[in-house]
Amino acid sequence: MSASFRKIDYSLRPAKHAERKMLSEIFRRLRPFQPVEDYTYVGLGSIWFTDFSLFHRALGVKDMRSIEREKNAKARVEANKPFSTITVAYDEASVVLPELDWSKRSFVWLDYDDPLAPDMLLDSQIVASHAASGTVLAVSVQCQQAREVGDAQKETNGPTALERFRDQFGRESIPQGVCEDDLYGWPLGNLSRRMIEAKIQAALAVRNIDQDVFSAVSFIPICSIEYKDGACMTTVVGIFVEGRELGTAQSCGFETLDFLTTDGKPIRIQVPVLTIREIRHIERQLPQTDKPIDYGSIPPSDADHFAEFYRYLPNFATLDQ
C-alpha cells in the first residue's frame, strides 16, 4: 500500500486542467489561418463548460457550440451556461455534427468520458467529412479498460473480450496483431488513437476522390496525450489542411510547443504531489536554463515532472486559520 501523501485528490482533476491549457496553446497557434477569436468552438460542455470558459477567456472565442445528449438536463445546462454566446444542441453528436456550419474554421473537442465505441468513431468520421481547412480536431476517450472486458466478465461462458471487441467494431476496423492485453490501460489508449485516426483517414479518402492536390484535405497529427485522473485517458489531436494551405499549417509552428515530445510518443501528464513550499522552491528556478534544478528534499522525479508541466498545472493555495 502506498503512503497517503503519494495520493492525489482526483476530484480536482489537475491533469485534465493541464490538458485543457495545452489544447489552448495549440489553438492559439492557428493565427496564420485567421484570428483565433473568429474560430468556432465545438465541444461537449455538460453542465460545467470548463473548456468553454477557458477558450473564451484565453483566446477570445465567442462563437461556441455545445452538444448535449441528455435532453432532460436542459434546464440545468442552460442555467449553467457561463456566456450568452454559447449555443447548446440537445441530441446525439452524430445528429448535431452534420448540421453545423462547416464553412467556418473550428476547434472541435470530442471529449468523451467513456471507452471507445462505434458511435465515437462515427462522430470523428463526420467531422473529417466536413471540416474546413484549418480546423483542429481533438478526440478524448477513456482507456482504463474496453467496455467489452466488463461484458465478458459478466458472461464467463460467452465470447472473450477480444471477440466481443472485434464484433462490436467490425474486424476490418481492428488493426492486425491486436490481442487481449491491448484492451487495458495505455495499450488500449494506443489502440483507440490508431482506430480514431484510421476512421478519419478513411473518411478523407472518400472526401478527396474527385479533388486535385490543392483541394484535397489531409489530417496532420499534432500530438497525443495520456494522463490518469482516476481512470486512464487519452487524446489524439490533429489539423485538417487543404493542399494549398500546407505552408500555412507549417507556419503555425506546432512543433515548437514546449510540451511536445521529441520522439513522437504521447505526452504523458504526470502530476506530482508537492507542498506549496516545494512548488515555490522549484518555480524560483524556472524556466530552466543549463543549470540543474536544486531539488533540496523534494523527490527528483516529482520535481522533474513539475518542471516539465508547470505552465499548465493548476495553481493551488492554502489559507491557514
Question: What are the pLDDT digits (tens) for 289-301?
Answer: 788 999 999 999 9
Mean pLDDT of the chain: 92
Domain that holds residue 315: 272-321
What's this model's pTM, rounded to 2 decimal places?
0.93
Q: What angle separates helix 300-309 from helix 276-283, to the nearest 10 degrees? A: 60
Would 207 be classed as within a structural domain? yes
pLDDT in tens, 15-56: 999 999 999 999 999 999 999 999 999 999 889 999 999 999
Same domain for 115 and 226, yes or no, is yes
Does position 212 have pLDDT exceeding 50, yes or no?
yes
Same domain for 260 and 280, yes or no, is no
Would 232 be classed as within a structural domain? yes
Same domain for 131 and 262, yes or no, is yes
Same domain for 60 and 132, yes or no, is yes
Q: Note if the bond before 98 is cis, omega within 30 degrees.
A: no
Percent of the chain with pLDDT over 90: 86
Would 140 be classed as within a structural domain? yes
Q: Domain end: 269, 286, 305, which one?
A: 269
Would 253 be classed as within a structural domain? yes
Does position 181 have pLDDT exceeding 70, yes or no?
yes
User: How far is residue 235's CA from residue 193's CA, in Å, rounded to a whole number?
Assistant: 7
User: How far is residue 29's CA from residue 42's CA, in Å, rounded to a whole number?
Assistant: 18
Would 238 be classed as within a structural domain? yes
Would 246 be classed as within a structural domain? yes
Interacting residues of 89 by C-beta distance below 8 A, sequence separation 6+: 65, 66, 67, 68, 96, 99
Contact 33, 136 (CB under 8 A): no
Looking at the structure of the chain, the number of domains it has is 2
Same domain for 294 and 235, yes or no, is no
Confidence band (pLDDT; 50, 70, 90) for 317? Answer: low
Would 264 be classed as within a structural domain? yes
pLDDT in tens, 59-110: 999 999 999 999 999 999 999 999 999 999 999 999 999 999 999 999 999 9
Same domain for 244 and 204, yes or no, is yes
Residue 189 belongs to a domain with what CATH number?
3.40.50.150
Would 99 be classed as within a structural domain? yes
Does position 12 have pLDDT exceeding 80, yes or no?
no
CA torsion sign for 68, 74, 78, 82 is: negative
Which strands, in side-by-side order, build the sheet including 40-43? 86-90, 63-68, 40-43, 106-115, 136-142, 231-242, 217-229, 267-269
Same domain for 12 and 47, yes or no, is yes
Q: List the single range of 5-9, 55-59, 197-201 with lowest mean pLDDT.
A: 5-9
Same domain for 141 and 101, yes or no, is yes
Confidence band (pLDDT; 50, 70, 90) for 180? Answer: very high
Q: List the single range of 2-11, 124-133, 240-249 with lowest mean pLDDT.
A: 2-11
Same domain for 128 and 59, yes or no, is yes
Interacting residues of 228 by C-beta distance below 8 A, sequence separation 6+: 15
Of residues 35, 202, 25, the one with CA closest to residue 134: 35
- Residue found under cell 458472461: 155
pLDDT in tens, 215-263: 999 999 999 999 998 899 999 999 999 999 999 999 999 999 999 988 8
Amino acid identity of 320?
A: D
Contact 220, 238 (CB under 8 A): yes
Q: List the single range of 9-23, 145-159, 199-213 with lowest mean pLDDT.
A: 9-23
